[in-house]
Amino acid sequence: MEEVELCFPQLNTSCWKKTRPLSVSVITYLVLSFISLLTVTLNLLVLISISHFNILLSHVSRQLHTPTNLLLLSLAVSDFFVGFDMLFQILLINGCWLLGDLMCTLYIVFDYVVTCTSIGIMVLISIDRYVAICDPLHYSTRFSPRRVQICVSLCWVLSFSYAVIVMKDVLKQPGRYISCVGECVMPCDIIHQLTDFIFTFLIPITVIIILYMRVFVVAVSQARAMRSHVAAVSHQRSVKVTVKKSELKAAGTLGVVIVVFLICICPYFCVTVKGQDTFVSASSVTFLLCLYDSNSCLNPLIYALFYPWFRKSIKLIFTLQILKPGSCETNML
């Protein structure tokens, strides 16, 4: 179903682009554009929900100003930019990059920064739930909002630094690795592939899995303990049990976020780690990239499914209730 023609017919050094039937092309562009727009919109709702109701207004009770929600806010910021990043990926569906070598370099650096930051924040969320469930007495001191802000800022800085190190040669000479006009590629030597696999996949995924396995074991034991002693606890003890239940619920919700994240990211790295010699069709590459980026779209849907405060805030946003004076003081919990 695919034919090829030059990206720039007037240039002999032009790359070849794949042309598909009009119906296939239209459906592909519409689906990817819809996912990109949905990703931007849903994550913008998360940003407005958390920011409007606690973070930007210090004189009101910060209902949602918890370390966990600050991490969700940070994840929404990176996912919001991933939505914009998907718009550039749409340009590469037919194999042609029309914006020049400099824009190609900036796009790849931007892609590195936002995806690495998303992965880093996923690791921070796993650490947050591990401390909250396995060491609750020290949670408030180890995971204060101030420390979370520092960790998130450090995550962005490290992601940017990693992107600059990986792309240093291309930043000095944009288009260094292209073989024809209209191509947009990143360094693909074995050292780069191995480094990328270790630092953006193997280490983060290992940390996430180990921490959540520990959280799962502790959560199951605490749930059994609460069921066996719920009838004999005092009022003060019952309050502690309620707190533990809320922490377990948060761990379960964020566990779903982690599982969806693994499902979306693993196929992409399982293919790319095999190297350039692996035969993968263009449609398969497009599907893997869409699956990889669709994680940023799915996270807000998970929040809407499990967090009542997010559903309530969406209702207030779409009914324009947030424009009324004092709306930031609405009880969201």
What is the residue-level pLDDT of the chain in tens, covering all 333 positions?
A: 445 677 777 777 777 776 777 777 788 788 888 888 988 998 888 888 877 765 433 333 345 557 877 888 888 899 899 888 888 877 777 777 888 888 888 888 898 899 889 889 988 988 888 888 788 778 888 888 888 889 999 999 999 998 888 888 888 888 777 778 877 877 666 777 788 788 888 888 888 888 888 877 777 676 666 666 555 554 444 444 444 555 556 666 667 777 887 788 777 777 666 554 444 444 555 667 777 777 888 878 887 677 777 788 888 888 887 777 766 666 665
The per-residue pLDDT for 326 is 67
Contact 49, 312 (CB under 8 A): no
3-state secondary structure of 173: coil
The first and second tokens of residue 54, run together, are 């606690």
Q: Report residue 224: phi and psi, to 5°.
A: -65, -40
The per-residue pLDDT for 17 is 74
Query: Looking up tokens 């993968």, which residue turns up?
Result: 280
- Report how far residue 100's alpha carbon sits from residue 169's, in angstroms, rounded to the nearest whole number: 17
Contact 265, 120 (CB under 8 A): no
Write the DSSP assignment of 82-142 as a string of letters: HHHHHHHHHTTTTS---SHHHHHHHHHHHHHHHHHHHHHHHHHHHHHHHHHHH-GGGHHHH
Does a structural domain hold residue 259? Answer: yes
Which H or E run includes 5? strand 3-6
The per-residue pLDDT for 68 is 79
Query: Looking up tokens 């037919």, which residue turns up?
Result: 94
Does a structural domain hold residue 8? Answer: no
The first and second tokens of residue 261, run together, are 């994240």
The per-residue pLDDT for 57 is 35
* pTM (global) more than 0.85: no
- Report how far residue 298's alpha carbon sits from residue 260's, in angstroms, rounded to the nearest whole number: 8
Does a structural domain hold residue 9? Answer: no
Provide the CATH number for the domain around residue 139: 1.20.1070.10
Does a structural domain hold residue 318? Answer: yes
Does a structural domain hold residue 10? Answer: no
Total domain count for the chain?
1
The first and second tokens of residue 19, run together, are 């042309």
The per-residue pLDDT for 155 is 93
Contact 311, 304 (CB under 8 A): yes
Q: Where are the alpha helices (DSSP H) in the chain?
A: 22-50, 67-90, 100-134, 139-142, 145-166, 168-172, 190-197, 203-229, 235-272, 282-306, 308-318
The per-residue pLDDT for 236 is 47
Contact 254, 125 (CB under 8 A): yes
Does a structural domain hold residue 12? Answer: no
Does a structural domain hold residue 14? Answer: no
Cβ-based neighbour number of residue 49 at 10 Å = 28
Q: Report residue 31: phi and psi, to 5°.
A: -65, -50
- Local structure of residue 325 (DSSP, 8 states): T
Residue type, 282: A
Q: Which domain holds residue 58?
A: 19-228+237-329
Residue among 201, 303, 299 nearest 259 (CA): 299
The per-residue pLDDT for 238 is 45
Does a structural domain hold residue 11? Answer: no
| Long-range contacts of 303-309, Cβ-Cβ distance < 8 Å, separation of 24 or more | 303/46, 303/72, 303/253, 306/249, 306/252, 306/253, 306/256, 307/253, 309/49, 309/63, 309/64, 309/333
